[in-house]
Amino acid sequence: SVTKTEPAPSGDTGGTQAVAEYVYEGLVRVQDGAPVGVLAESFTVSEDGLDYIFHLRPGVTFHDGSALTADVVIANFNRWFDPKDANRGTGDFSAWAENFGGFKGEVDEAGKAKSIYDGIEKVDNLTVLIHLNKQDAGFLNKLSNPAFFIVSPSPFSGGYIGTGPYKVASSNETTVTLEPFTGYWDTSAIPSKGMEIPVK
C-alpha cells in the first residue's frame, strides 16, 4: 500500500528536500538542539576544535547494495569542496559555500583560504578525520543540512541512491514514489509501507 503525502509548498524545492530526508542520511543530525550520530556511530572533536573524527556505523549499505566506507564519505566531501573533482557534475554547490565559506583553491584578499574546511582523510575503513583551518562551533549542525547527506558514488551523475529507510521505486516530473528499504541498518525503523511525494 502507498501513503500519499500533502503537496510540497510552492517555491523552494520542498518536495525534493522531503525526498532527500527519506532517502539519504548524513553523518549527523540535530536532535533536541544537539548533533547526534546517524551514519557516524560516534564522533570526537579535538581540544583545539579543528579536528573532527567520525567513526562510521558498520554494516550500513546503500540502496544499490554498496557499503558505506571511509572512501565513500571522502568521495562525497571531495565532490562538494573541489571544483576540479571528477565527480563534481553540474551542480553549483551553493550550500557548501554558504556554510563553509568557499571551495578548494579560493583565497581572500589576504591570501588566506576562504573555506573553513581544510580537508578530509581516511583513518581506517570506517573512520574519517575532517580538519578545519579555523574553529566553527556550528560545524556539526551544518553537516546535518540535507545538502551534505551521503550518497552512493555510483549515481553522482544522477539518481537517488542513499542509505535511508526509503528507496525510490519510481519518479516522474511531478511525483516520486518511495518504497521501504528492507536492508536499512536500523531494523526497528524500516517502514511498513511506501509513499508518494509530490515534487511540483
| pLDDT one-digit tens code per residue, 155-189 | 776 778 999 999 999 989 899 999 999 999 999 99
C-alpha cell at 141: 549542525
Q: Return the pLDDT at 157.
A: 65
| pLDDT one-digit tens code per residue, 95-126 | 999 999 999 999 999 999 999 999 999 999 99
Listed residue (70, 64, 69) closest to 156, CA to CA = 64
For residues 49-69, average pLDDT? 97
Q: Return the pLDDT at 14.
A: 55
Please indicate, yes or no, whether the overall pTM of this predicted structure exceeds 0.95. Answer: no
Residue 13 has pLDDT above 50, yes or no: no
What CA–CA distance (Å, rounded) separates 123 from 54? 9
Residue 133 has pLDDT above 90, yes or no: yes
Residue 9 has pLDDT above 70, yes or no: no
Strand partners for 43 = 54
Q: Return the pLDDT at 1.
A: 42
For residues 28-36, average pLDDT? 95
